[in-house]
Chain A
Amino acid sequence: MVQPVLSIKSLVVEIPTRKGVLRPVDQVSYDIFPGEILGIVGESGAGKSMTGNAVIGLLERPARIVSGDVLLSGNPIHNLSASEFRKIRGKKIGMIFQDPLTSLNPLLTVGEQLVETIIEHLAVSKKEAQERAIAALEEVGIPAARERIGSYPHEFSGGMRQRVVIALALCAEPDLVIADEPTTALDVSVQAQIIALLKRLCRERGVGVMLVTHDMGVIAEAADRVAVMYAGRLAELGAVRDVLTAPKHPYTYGLMGSTPLASRGLERLKQIPGSMPRLGALPEGCAFSPRCDFAQEVCKTGSSPFIADEDAQAACWFPLQHTKLRSSK
């Protein structure tokens, strides 16, 4: 069996506060394999970015990993020191953030930033690094890369900037790329370009990609598998087609239903009542139970439901049966 690029096992992140300990990431486990795009989807506050930050060691204090393992190509990385992490970040793990303007240094040219990253992580001369930087820009589809390498970030458009960020993430040939809402700040037509680019690079280079987004449509088109998060936990994990067409967790079902796309032709959109609970006030039992149509006694009182893993796909006492679902509608 292929070794996963990234393997997260029962990861728990806690933030101690005056009012008690919050758990923005609770018992999350998943693997990402080479050449695979794993979509992480959820609403704001679900813990999707926090999981990404925990993986790359960018948790802001006082947030910390209290238990669980993060393995990168089989090696544990959750207990590395800050200086050890610096060697991995950029080299083994590339990062793409939401806003391309704030993730580039405005005072350095695009070329300087690429060359700096390449020299830091690969044993090459400055001249070769320069050539590699141009090749990296060409690969992400920036026209006239040789001329534009001396440009500053503000001279690029939003879409082009995000391409630069992708080039930066990939220039040291990482095994894993964490893309946190990479297209949220972009227009639809540019978003389509960036998604196509990510898919192509992932396929060609065999990089594993963690694609964090709130957009179900992007997940459907880009991801191979998807993990749905709710209030810090995995609600559901599976192949993207299975999860989106036959969701087992009532939250996924509600989330799918409330996208205007899925309610096409209906007078009213389906809605999930209420909103995601605050981390400081999580309900007992299943965190989704107060909003769930299918909730029963055990959901409200019983200890936590199953944790989603490869075998049990949904973290729910009563996973939806799809034959039943269709007939009840």
Chain B
Amino acid sequence: MSVIVRAKALRRLFDVSKPWLNRVVEREPKAFLTAVVDVDFEIEEGSVYALVGESGSGKSTIGKMVVGLTSATDGTIEIDGIAITGNDQKAKISEARQKLQMIFQDPYASLNPRWKVRDIIAEPAKLRGLEIKGLPERLLQQVGLSPEDADKYPHEFSGGQRQRICIARALSSEPKVIVCDEPTSALDVSVQSQVLNLMSDLQEQLGLTYLFISHDLTVVEHMADKIGVLYLGALVEEAPKKTLFASPLHPYTRMLFDAAPRLDGFGREIDVPKGEIPDPINPPPGCAFHPRCPLATSLCKTVRPQMRLIGDTRVSCHHV
């Protein structure tokens, strides 16, 4: 299988400095928030790659960089072998971008309330210059809605149905890769399962590749082939699903698995995780996880661990 998305040494900083005059008066240097640090990953065509992490781990920023909604500070992203960052051939980039689409978290905010469903779905195809006659109807059917829904407005639909419309819109430009940023977090459990099943079916039928971003380990376990775990902007562990869930290596991954509520966890008393995610503007030196880590030694406080390959797993920790 070929690699369709490749990210190398991806990095994104956000300037969170005070205004220029305040800085001069208060003699403060510029401040940067490091959202993503040196992230490498490859996604094979036709597979589901999941990024998991808590809030502030940089998972959504990576998703946005892949589709080009925000630029990378450093590093490269290649789609089908074409670099979409730091490439000055505009035509090439736009060709590569046509292979990408995105599904957002909140189906109430990501559909224009003044547009009919027909126009919402047809827009991406129109921009690519594809034939749009009958397309919205066909896509609506494909996502489990009825063709008559094309003449309705978004407010006439429930959350789950709206997410189906978002999926139909993403499919209309015939993309190869869909970035799904928390596609079911805003939905109820019973509706979530409908949407996840639909996404699996479509992936199979159309040979799609998903970059699936979620904070929910159970959803990720169901959907993904390969999983990358992010902590404070850095990839701490990456492994095929089975390996990761059978034997998580990084202490953060283990903590995350332990803390996740379980359906059979009646009256379970867990080792309550220590502390919270540190401030990304002043991340701890060395390994970012060391203040919360049970294995931390003086080495972890000074030296940032490199990614190492152990079996199927890539992990960045000094002590596994």
Which chain A residues have a beta carbon within 8 Å of chain B's beta carbons? 43-44, 157-160, 187-193, 195-196, 214-218, 220-221, 240-241, 244-245, 254-256, 258-264, 267-273, 275-276
Contacts and interface: CB of A to CB of B under 8 A. Distances in A.
Contacts of A272: 190, 193
24 contacts: A43-B191, A44-B188, A157-B276, A160-B276, A187-B215, A189-B256, A191-B259, A191-B261, A192-B260, A196-B270, A215-B261, A217-B261, A221-B268, A255-B190, A258-B189, A259-B193, A259-B263, A260-B218, A260-B222, A261-B218, A271-B190, A271-B194, A273-B194, A275-B188
B189 A189 contact: no
Nearest to A257: B193
A187 B277 contact: yes
B277 A263 contact: no
A218 B261 contact: yes
B33 interface: no
A268 B200 contact: yes
Contacts of B217: 188
Interface of B: 54-55, 158-161, 188-194, 196-197, 200, 215-219, 221-222, 255-256, 258-270, 272-273, 276-277
Given A220-B263, A240-B266, A275-B190, 19 more contacts: A43-B189, A188-B54, A188-B217, A189-B54, A192-B259, A192-B260, A192-B261, A193-B273, A196-B270, A217-B260, A221-B268, A260-B193, A263-B193, A268-B197, A269-B193, A269-B222, A270-B193, A271-B194, A273-B194
Contacts of A188: 54, 215, 217, 256, 259-260
Contacts of A43: 188-191
A221 B266 contact: yes
**Max chain B C-beta neighbours (<10 A), residue from A188, A192, A270, A276:** A188
B222 A244 contact: no
Contacts of A256: 263
A187 B54 contact: yes
Contacts of B273: 189-190, 192-193
Nearest to B219: A260
Nearest to B273: A189
- 3 closest cross-chain pairs (CB), A and B: A217-B261, A43-B188, A258-B193
Contacts of B276: 157, 159-160, 189-190
**Max chain B C-beta neighbours (<10 A), residue from A158, A261, A264:** A261
A258 B159 CA distance: 17
A269 to B, nearest CB: 4
Contacts of A44: 159, 188
Contacts of B218: 217, 259-261
A237 to B, nearest CB: 17
Contacts of A160: 276
A222 B268 CA distance: 8
B196 to A, nearest CB: 6
A268 B262 CA distance: 20
Nearest to B221: A260
A253 B161 CA distance: 23
Nearest to B161: A275
B197 A271 contact: yes
A218 B267 CA distance: 10
Contacts of B160: 275
B50 to A, nearest CB: 12
B300 to A, nearest CB: 19
Contacts of B54: 187-189
Contact of B189 (A192, A214, A244, A245): A214
A190 B258 CA distance: 12
A275 B273 CA distance: 36
B272 A216 contact: no
A148 to B, nearest CB: 14
**Max chain A C-beta neighbours (<10 A), residue from B55, B159, B272:** B272
Contacts of B159: 44
B261 A220 contact: yes
B261 A271 contact: no
Given A255-B190, A258-B192, A263 B263 contact: no
B193 A271 contact: yes
**Max chain B C-beta neighbours (<10 A), residue from A214, A218, A220, A273:** A220
**Max chain B C-beta neighbours (<10 A), residue from A157, A159, A189:** A189
B263 A261 contact: yes
Nearest to A141: B272
Contacts of B265: 217, 220-221
**Max chain B C-beta neighbours (<10 A), residue from A256, A258, A269:** A269
A287 B196 CA distance: 25
Nearest to A44: B188
A272 B268 CA distance: 29
B188 to A, nearest CB: 4
A43 to B, nearest CB: 4
Nearest to A42: B188
